[in-house]
């Protein structure tokens, strides 16, 4: 259900799945705008395939990274989009709800 007027929001962190190459190829073929939210250390890499890169500071405390800034940025992007496009968001949400109902998926 994606096309040239849509945007793909990627959240990329330290581990890059092999799926990323296929996903980026699909995005290019579909002429999607790519917005990447990533750790600031990967900003240059993300700029190669993204129209917009939102770099965040991901702190590392021992073995565990803290992704609070990435999650906060994703939430801010979502809130800003809903604020500027409430009708489109409502229509897309209704479409997704209908698909979930038709497929009898758990909510």
Average pLDDT over residues 58-73: 81
Residue 19: give the domain boundaries.
Answer: 7-103
The tally of domains found in the chain comes to: 1
Q: What is the CATH number of the domain that holds 55?
A: 3.40.50.10490
Query: How deeply is 73 buried, as exposed, middle or buried, from its count of CB atoms within 10 A (0-12, 13-18, 19+)?
Result: middle
Average pLDDT over residues 21-50: 91
In a domain? residue 1 = no
In a domain? residue 2 = no
Read off the pTM. Answer: 0.76
pLDDT 10s digits, 82-106: 999 999 999 989 998 998 888 987 7
DSSP state letters, 11-80: EE-SS--THHHHHHHHHHHTT-EEEEEEEGGGHHHHHTT-SEEEEE--EEETTEEE-HHHHHHHHHHHHH
pLDDT band of 107, cuts 50, 70, 90 = low
């Amino acid at each position: 259900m994606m096309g040239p007027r849509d945007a793909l929001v990627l959240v990329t962190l330290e581990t890059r799945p092999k799926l990323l190459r296929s996903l980026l190829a699909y995005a290019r073929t579909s002429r999607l705008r790519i917005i990447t939210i990533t750790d600031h250390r990967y900003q240059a890499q993300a700029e190669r395939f993204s129209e917009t890169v939102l770099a965040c500071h991901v702190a590392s405390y021992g073995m565990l990274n803290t992704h609070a800034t990435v999650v906060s940025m994703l939430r801010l992007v979502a809130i800003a989009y809903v604020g500027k496009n409430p009708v489109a968001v409502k229509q897309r949400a209704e479409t997704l709800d209908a698909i979930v109902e038709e497929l009898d998926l758990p909510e």
